[in-house]
Amino acid sequence: MASAPQIEVPDPTALVREDKVHRSVYTDPAIFALEMERIHGRAWLYLAHESEFKAAGDYVVRHLGTQAVILTRDKQGAIHGIFNRCSHRGATLCAFDRGSAPHGHQCPYHGWTFNADGSVRFVSHPRNYDGVLDPADQAIQSVRIESYRGFLFGNLAADAAPPLLDFMGHMKTSIDDLVDRSPTGKVECGPYVLRHYYRANWKMTFENLNDTIHPGFAHAASVVSARNVASALPASEQPVATLGMMLANGKPIQFFQDIDMVTAPGGHSYIGGHMGASYTPDAQNGYVQAMTAFHGAERTREILSIDRHLMLLYPSSFWHARYQTVRILRPVRHDLTEMIGFVFRLVGAPDETYANAVEYCTGANSAASPVIADDLEIYERCLLGNGFGDQQWIPMSRGLKETREVTNAFTRSPATSEAFIRNQFAAWSSYMAQA
Amino acid sequence: MSDPLSQEVDAFVHHEARLLDECRYAEWVDLFLPDARYWVPVSIEQRDPMDGPSHFHDDIQVLKARTHRLANPRAFGAEPSPRTAHIVSGVRVDRTMDDGALVVSSTQIMLEYRNRGGFEADQRMFGGRVTHLLRRMPEGLRIARKRVDLINAEGPFNAMAAPI
């Protein structure tokens, strides 16, 4: 955040009320630029898992807001984050989003080469710089990285950022939920990532993923089609998991009214699980036996009894512990957003457990998923519709008077509530208010 | 290309693409065997669909649901329905498996258009290598596997409704 430009925006907190938000937060490029400075420039953003770095020199390129960062493992095993930018002329160093650079990152322009931590390894034709420039001063700016249970987060605010654990608060329990499901205590990031994008604002995904009213409408067509196929199955055949996922969107609204939504300071939230017992690795005996051998029977029951749907870690990632899927949201422009899906293997669990997770991730993050395709269409229609007409304010008042429990760590509401959206905008206002 | 097998396979692959372009989805699904898979991986290096997530990895149940949905006016991601035009080229029998199944490859381009208010973004192009595993059944050639390796497999995609 060293040299953020000054952006002229009227007081951004005036755009958010308790029960409504001004539509310009989705459509205004100036607000997006300010968000990248004040929200993504300050929050802890999920970047990578330590299992993605097997050997010294292994690297991935990820984003903190709109800024590209290279994460590289050094010879001692430490993982460093530096901007993907040569300190000479500014060219990006890495063209690929992952790879191996055991001899450092070399700029394609004049060959300057950098270590994992950004320090200079080589400057071409150094005699020209004698008495002029000290290569030691040309290190690439690094970013602060913290790890929680192997998951690496970055923060552009460096020392001004709170500790990662303070940022996550109660939501760390959803990361525990993911790792605890491993019968060895280890999880491993799968080798392939699944990406989609849409032409609309990044907040649309945050406000949609735990919205339990829209599936009955936006996904009605896939519910009808899944039922059509399921009803024609012979008695001996069960619906496959992907079909089950499509069917789950057809649950009556009362079902979602009865389950909980948990919101927490910082804009984070999750809701209770609703995919149904038939779509779960818990039913696999081999898995439960391996879990019991590692955790003991009581602890295994405790771990497997947790049933949460997505945890939304504001403002950048989505965690599905039960299906070992983590998604990163990458804001590109005010009207362009990329979603990157990762699947984790519970080391020591049967192959079927990983297969379930793979299938879940495909259903939940593929642009070709019948469910996601409808969501993306809706996001883009909202961007279009918010560009005209006189109605400037978008209500977010659903369930405003239905709070179930308030503690210091979290607030509980019905899963049909828009409490999670109000909670996101409370965090949004708090970030955006600080110059 | 003159031998009867090559001609038959070439006609089959063209016919399959034609069914998609004419939105004859029920007939298209009927070309797939009950245990078939339709797969669009996220990397040409992906060996096994269970190694990681995919753009499409459909069994017959999901293929049926997916294509049934395309005919539903409330499938917003497909409203209005996409129109497609496949160009099929270089159909070749790469090898014959021990059990007689044919591994057939082709290069295909699919133009896709959805009228969403005009301008260039309404039309997209998908392309790459298509690999069929075909079995000879009493009713003719049928698809056991169809794999589509898009040249931009790794890249992010916007909503895809039409199978490739």
Nearest residue to A428 via CA among A5, A13, A8, A37: A13
CA distance linking residue A304 with residue A284, whole number of Å = 12
Point out the residue among B42, B51, B66 whose CB comes nearest to the CB of A370. Answer: B66
Q: Which two tokens stand for residue A78?
A: 């430490």
Shortest Cα–Cα distance, A410 to chain B (Å): 33
Query: What's the confidence (pLDDT) of residue B126?
Result: 97
Per-residue pLDDT of B113-126, as tens digits, reads 987 776 767 899 99
Nearest residue to A424 via CA among A248, A202, A265, A305: A265
Point out the residue among B42, B59, B154 whose CB comes nearest to the CB of A240. Answer: B59
Percent of chain B with pLDDT over 70: 94
What residue ranges define each of the domains in chain B, with the CATH number in brackets? 4-150 (3.10.450.50)
In chain A, which among 335-374 make CB contacts under 8 A with chain B? 338-341, 343, 351, 354-355, 358-359, 361-362, 365-368, 370, 372-374
Percent of chain A with pLDDT over 70: 95
Strand (E) or helix (H) holding A381: helix A370-385
Q: Is it the case that residue A278 has pLDDT exceeding 50?
A: no
Percent of chain B with pLDDT over 90: 84
Place A246 in a pLDDT band, splitting at 50, 70 and 90.
Answer: confident
Cβ pairs A/B, distance under 8 A: 147
- Do residues A43 and A64 lie in contact, with contact meaning Cβ atoms separated by under 8 Å? no
- Do residues B20 and B130 lie in contact, with contact meaning Cβ atoms separated by under 8 Å? no
Per-residue pLDDT of A390-404, as tens digits, reads 999 999 999 999 999
Per-residue pLDDT of A284-313, as tens digits, reads 678 989 999 999 999 998 998 888 999 999
Query: What's the confidence (pLDDT) of residue A6?
Result: 56
Q: Is it the case that residue A8 has pLDDT exceeding 70?
A: no
Per-residue pLDDT of A341-387, as tens digits, reads 999 999 999 998 999 999 999 998 999 998 999 999 999 999 999 99
Whole-angstrom CA distances from A347 to A46, A289, A351, A378 are: 21, 14, 10, 37
Per-residue pLDDT of A33-90, as tens digits, reads 999 999 999 999 999 999 999 999 999 999 999 999 999 999 999 999 999 999 999 9
Query: What's the confidence (pLDDT) of residue A240?
Result: 87
If one counts every other C-beta atom within 10 angstroms of the C-beta of residue A33, the result is 17
Query: What's the confidence (pLDDT) of residue A279?
Result: 44
**Going by DSSP bridges, is the β-strand pair B140-150/B32-41 parallel, antiparallel, or unpaired?**
parallel
- Do residues B160 and A200 lie in contact, with contact meaning Cβ atoms separated by under 8 Å? no
Percent of chain A with pLDDT over 90: 85
What residue ranges define each of the domains in chain A, with the CATH number in brackets? 45-160 (2.102.10.10), 169-433 (3.90.380.10)
Place B107 in a pLDDT band, splitting at 50, 70 and 90.
Answer: very high
CA distance linking residue A98 with residue A49, whole number of Å = 13
Residue type, B141: L
Per-residue pLDDT of B54-71, as tens digits, reads 999 999 999 999 999 888
Q: Does B52 touch chain A (CB under 8 A)?
A: yes
Q: Which two tokens stand for residue A194?
A: 């699944």
Q: Which residues of A touch B78 (CB under 8 A)?
A: 221, 373
Task: Write down the mean pLDDT value for chain A.
Answer: 93
CA distance linking residue A67 with residue A71, whole number of Å = 13
Place B79 in a pLDDT band, splitting at 50, 70 and 90.
Answer: confident
Q: Which two tokens stand for residue B16?
A: 């399959």
Residue type, A312: L
Q: Does B54 touch chain A (CB under 8 A)?
A: yes
Q: Is it the case that residue A283 has pLDDT exceeding 90?
A: no
Name the residue in chain B with its Cα closest to that of A371.
B77
Q: Which two tokens stand for residue B155?
A: 């890249």
Strand partners of residue A322: none
Place B72 in a pLDDT band, splitting at 50, 70 and 90.
Answer: confident
pLDDT higher at A238 or B49: B49
Place B77 in a pLDDT band, splitting at 50, 70 and 90.
Answer: low
